[in-house]
Chains A and B, each alone.
Chain A
């Protein structure tokens, strides 16, 4: 039914606390060049460039204007999604589906060292109702995690297991920011940032960039590169006001997954998906995401992590890259998830490869409390 579009080139920078070598311009140029090299194509082969970037995070208005050229967009169709990187990938996918473009480059970057993310996310709240409460991404997610715990009796130990799992996966990922194993006791001893979120339930602040090259079926096959085919995409948006929704449930993620599964012909995600890369903005959110993605029944997220099914040797490894809890180049986080999923299904994930991974899921999120979510399904 759908034309096939596949990922033929991937490049990621190492995520780190502060990138002191590159200006944003240099970083974007370098990462895009490397993705083109990985895909074995030249700038002249590109049809469209989609950027994912936040003006606020870059401290520069209309950043697309300055970054279009380093992103190799000279003389090309170009657009910028000011949203999570997974959203940009989906737009590039639609552009290839419409027959007008054959080759698309998606570039996303996040330089958390250049800004104060806590302050910045505080300004995502409307000036009338939320902002006077002093909320930001951490405090709002703390409220959400608390409602989730209370609703289903999720324990701090269960959430700590997510951190332990993802941080130990990151040891095998040379591009991850935090590559030090942690123990459950250590997580439970780390101080509260916003109850129930402890320091180790939260991601670091990282600098990083990621670029992905998409190609239509014919071009992808001709490239001779291992191809990760996109078989399903879905995205959806929930209400903004925190009080207007069931915070313990990521309903727009459920809708996004449903759309992506329908497109990819997936009926039993837990069985049919071999590896998943989710947007673990806190360790509690990864558990909520298990439920919304249909890996387990609603309320059973804690039991799923207890069972070990989502660890590297489990039935459905989640976040083999170490996830967001290990590297957080905000805005490009979703694109990193897609990149890892693509590496996994093309058998290029090195010593963190999930053996025989055929179908992978990648998840991107934007907005506060999981308001907007995107899901991408890839297969080899």
Chain B
């Protein structure tokens, strides 16, 4: 990479089912304001804006980026719109990084969000429109049955059960209690999690993310500017994005099968050869509990047959060996357009030491991911993952 790039500020709205008090421009204005305040910058310091937004069928307006560009500080500035589905927020941060790494801009805002409650249909109906119109859509599938099949594959393959999924669900829900932005803030217990109703076997209510509205913004800056803006930038030391095909169920493949291929180039770039020793906190894109368990192996924290033991040992809990999802993660707030960015913002918050009640101690390196695409193009599944490794020191 020609230039070093760092995250110097973050902003988030509270995530909730429906923001009844404001229209979309108000939401983006609020998130930009809090992001600029966090970095102690004014809108005049921003050179360009990258706008991430998932499917507009949720928002009920085409080109929300154009409508809300004034509110997002993009008046008379370069504006670009990114949409990669669930990975949108992550891809938007990477596009902002391209703006800076190319040498064309010094300070760029990546902003993303989604109004899940504005469209006329249920979000799952909207997601159903992602399927192939000829081969798959007639079966009225949506993301729930797809993920439940994937969860069963993972359970068989990695040797974990509903108990382990409940442990992760409870952990993330309790973490969310310390995150003022989190959507679901449920003080729950193992007993409740194991008794919660099934949405689609083996996924119970507490295993599954909500459908949230909200927005997130992240400011990325060149090395020179980053050092001026803050004494503790979160350096983007490694990053990668990749698209792979998974053929679910065939040859034992699951949604996490190819994650290691995408994550390792980012580790290599950041000089990480032993993630378990070198990463202090991880905020991966985990909308459903079972994926975190599989992620322990996919992200190189253990061997595939060790994941159940890691869950039992509380590996990813606050105070555990490597805390996973200190914010409560995607499981507690999932806003399609900005979930990926919220993960990267949380990792930056942890590196910058701004995590308050959910701060993990001595964070030198943090991992964040954004993922999208688990719908078949006629049996096949395309999956894309964005990865960033943030460090307290540039490498």
Contact = CB atoms under 8 A, between A and B. Distances in A.
A243 interface: no
A47 B53 CA distance: 24
What is the size category of the interface that chain A forms with chain B?
35 or more
Contact of A61 (B85, B95, B384): B85
B61 A368 contact: no
B1 A237 contact: no
Find the residue from A55, A76, A95, A236 having the highest chain B CB count within 10 A: A55
A87 B240 contact: no
B241 A78 contact: yes
Given A82-B53, A236-B78, A74 B84 contact: no
B294 interface: no
Nearest to A56: B62
B76 A83 contact: no
A128 B243 contact: no
Nearest to A54: B62
B268 interface: no
Given A79-B95, A237-B74, A238-B76, A64 B61 contact: no
A3 B377 CA distance: 38
Interface in B40-68: 49, 53-57, 60-63, 65-68
A79 B91 contact: yes
A361 to B, nearest CB: 17
B367 to A, nearest CB: 18
B243 to A, nearest CB: 5
A78 B94 CA distance: 11
Interface string B70-93: 100011111111111110000100
Contacts of A255: 76
A334 to B, nearest CB: 12
Given A82-B82, A94-B98, A94-B102, A368 B66 contact: yes
Contacts of B61: 123-127
A116 B95 CA distance: 31
Contact of B69 (A2, A3, A237): A237
Contact of A367 (B63, B70, B86, B98): B63
Contacts of A42: none
B85 to A, nearest CB: 3
A68 interface: yes
Interface in B320-346: none
B133 interface: yes
A56 B62 CA distance: 8
B99 interface: yes
A127 B101 CA distance: 38
A54 B56 CA distance: 10
A254 B297 CA distance: 52
Nearest to B105: A94
B95 A91 contact: yes
Interface stretch (A96-104, A146-154, A177-185, A312-320): A96-104
Interface stretch (B122-130, B225-233, B276-284): B122-130
A133 interface: no
A76 B129 CA distance: 25
Contact of A91 (B63, B74, B79, B98): B98
A371 interface: yes
B103 interface: yes
B241 A79 contact: yes
A240 B240 contact: no
A59 B75 CA distance: 30
B249 interface: no
A237 B78 contact: yes
A76 B1 contact: no
A77 interface: yes
B199 interface: no
23 contacts: A59-B133, A62-B85, A62-B86, A64-B84, A64-B373, A65-B377, A66-B130, A69-B382, A76-B243, A81-B82, A82-B82, A83-B80, A87-B81, A91-B95, A95-B102, A97-B2, A98-B1, A98-B98, A124-B63, A240-B69, A252-B76, A366-B63, A372-B69
Which are the 6 A-B pairs with shortest beta-carbon distances? A62-B85, A98-B101, A97-B102, A237-B79, A61-B55, A65-B373
